[in-house]
Amino acid sequence: MCGIFGCILRTDDASSAIHKGLKKLEYRGYDSVGIATLQGNRLFMKKDRGKIDNVHAIHNLDSLPGRLGIGHTRWATHGAPYQVNAHPHTDCKNQIAVVHNGIIENFAELKTELEEAGHTFRSKTDTEVIPHLIEQKMKNGLSLVDAVHETVKRLDGSYALCVISVKEPDKIVCARKESPLVFGVNEDSIYVASDIPAFLAYTNKSVIVHDGELVVLSGKGYEIRNIASWELVKREPEIIDWAPEMAEKQGYPHFMLKEIHEQPLCLRNTLRLQDKYLELMTTFLDRAGEVFLVACGTSYHACLAASYLFSKLSFLATHPIIASEFLEQHGKSVNIDSTLLVVSQSGETADTLEAVESARLRAATVLGLTNVVGSTLTRIARVYICQQSGPEIGVAATKTFTSQLSVLSQLAVRLAKKRGKISHVEIEDIEEHLEQLPDIVERTIQGKEEKVKQLAKKYSGKQVFFFLGRGVSSAVALEGKLKLMEISYIPSLAYPAGESKHGPISLIEDGFPVVFICPKGDTHRSIIGNIMEMKARGASIIAIIEKDDEKIKNLADDYIEIETELPEILSPIPFVVPLQLLAYYMALERGCDPDQPRNLAKSVTVK
Ligand code: F6R
């Protein structure tokens, strides 16, 4: 997730408007920043690693000449956060500049093709293929618009991009597939950005660019075309009446809700990770003597779910372990044959890094899964994967959890293939469902949010909650509990459901709320037994169920139905979504701030 901003003004100060716009987008990424402007037939550019204020202090981003330009604030995905990888990226002759948000899946093939045609690349980014492709097309006589049109037809993956060229210095050509893009107009200027707040200070008239559209912005206005049919699209600007504070959250009242809603997009990003890193990590896991899955909090819950995935799909036994316990429990036994798959959204959690250091001293192999390229974890891991969720501002982890689960599921499927442990039919079924997860999550959010809101109203006065699940759903129960507890301050418990009768059931009395996670797989029969045990003692049952689960519908006081059937092992991703929403709306009902719960910090860098 990166932020892009472009503008065409009447006056010669595009770079300072871009600088201000990028500041508003800094929440989307802050590894590096860059601006390119056009004046006469010359391209001017400044870019560097670091946050906008730091880069501005060194380079004075406002000093670029011209009334037209583009800018970018980056969240590194391909290529570390170095100056050379900062956007804009240019062609061989520095005549075309491009800013891009998204992932170009086929960049390696395109890069080889372009290098063979004589193009020289400077960066390690996927984006750089775009200016070179446009250069190649313009060399063959195409106009800038046609060259961008032909180029985007060759790109697999996601993109929001803006292109400028010295050859046609009166326009910005933009295109969108999946990554967000919107532009704003007023009488004498036009702005394009990743989201509305970036230009809201200049205009409240905005036009959303839809998937599969190309837009030409010029001093005269805008022209939208459908990329596939090349037909003109008519779309009038809408008036945006968000208060500035809401604008930052794209109209959502809280970052947490915005991030819950971003999950379909983030999951799609995880399905576009580079093959070579997934493959490399799978090879390390395959050869490992023993595997520890090390993390804290929500990331630990992803590890716990992953231990079921690795076991059931790839027949690999793993040890999920809370990082702060690692040293005590395994510190002495770890050795050169041990592998740690370390999961940390921030890549900076002190407990997690301490576990990593202790294992490294004993020659163990460290693999990392994180959301932050350039974090300590990425520097010390032998191989790391960036989950590409973009910055998460809400303290409670939501989108980063489901993305972690998606990456870990992909690793487990790859390992299953490598090891030949399950049938190709089962593998294909899992792969197909993995691809469908973003849509399933999208439908779950759209279809169930209202019902969850009502449940939050109904149960907000309860003093304590119980979360139960079996198998992989026990990790979902733990995560549902953590979300509710940390943002609405309701003491809660979570157990593998089978364990509940070994003590916790003594708590149950009339009306005690118990949330059951009930996918329709191997554990379904037993969870029905657990529901009946709780119901017999007066518990109020709230069940998260799969489509048409009449048996549980008849037992539960309330239920949220995930409108699909999928392999149980993949169920955590959609099943956790109603629990995230429940925690969020429960916090609101109880007057708590879901984005900044008391006593917590986003990145826990103390032990
Ligand atoms: C809970 C939450 C925390 C983090 C934990 C680990 O919503 O966000 O429990 O999951 O502090 O953080 P990372 O993943 O950054 O290591």
| Residue (of 436, 510, 514) closest to 477 by Cα position | 514
Any ligand 1 atom below 6 A from CB of 604: yes
Cβ of 264: how many Cβ atoms within 10 Å?
Answer: 22
The pTM of the full predicted model, rounded to 2 decimals, is 0.80
Centre of ligand 1 to C-alpha 346, Å, is 8
Mutation choice for ligand 1 from 346, 353, 404, 596, CB with most ligand atoms inside 8 A: 346
- Ligand 1 atom 4, closest CA: 297
Atom of ligand 1 nearest to the CA of 396: 7
Q: Which of 529, 570, 569, 571 is nearest to 561 (CA)?
A: 571
Rounded Cα distance, 202 and 199, in Å: 5
Compute the average pLDDT of residues 191-213.
Answer: 91
Q: Is 396 near ligand 1, meaning CB less than 6 Å away?
A: yes
Residue (of 594, 563, 596) closest to 580 by Cα position: 594
Q: Is 2 among the catalytic positions?
A: yes
- For residue 459, the CA-to-ligand 1 centroid distance in Å is 26
Any ligand 1 atom below 6 A from CB of 346: yes
What pLDDT was estimated at residue 290? Answer: 96
Ligand 1 atom closest to the CA of 296, numbered from 1: 6
H/E element, 378 = helix 376-380
Residue 443 confidence (pLDDT) = 97
The answer to whether the CB of 194 falls within 8 A of the CB of 18 is no
**Ligand 1 in contact with 303 (CB < 6 A)?**
no
Cα-to-centroid distance, 232 and ligand 1 (Å): 47
pLDDT at 29 over 80: no
* Residue 344 beta carbon below 6 angstroms from any ligand 1 atom: yes
Question: Over the stretch 541-553, which tens digit does the pLDDT of each residue have?
Answer: 999 999 999 999 9
Q: Annotated catalytic residue: which of 417, 421, 551, 602?
A: 602
pLDDT digits (tens, 9 = 90+) for 362-391: 999 999 999 987 788 998 999 999 998 888
Residue 299 Cα to ligand 1 middle (Å): 6
Q: pLDDT-derived band of residue 78, with 50, 70 and 90 as boundaries?
A: low
The percent of the chain in helix, strand and coil, each rounded to the nearest 5, is: 45, 25, 35
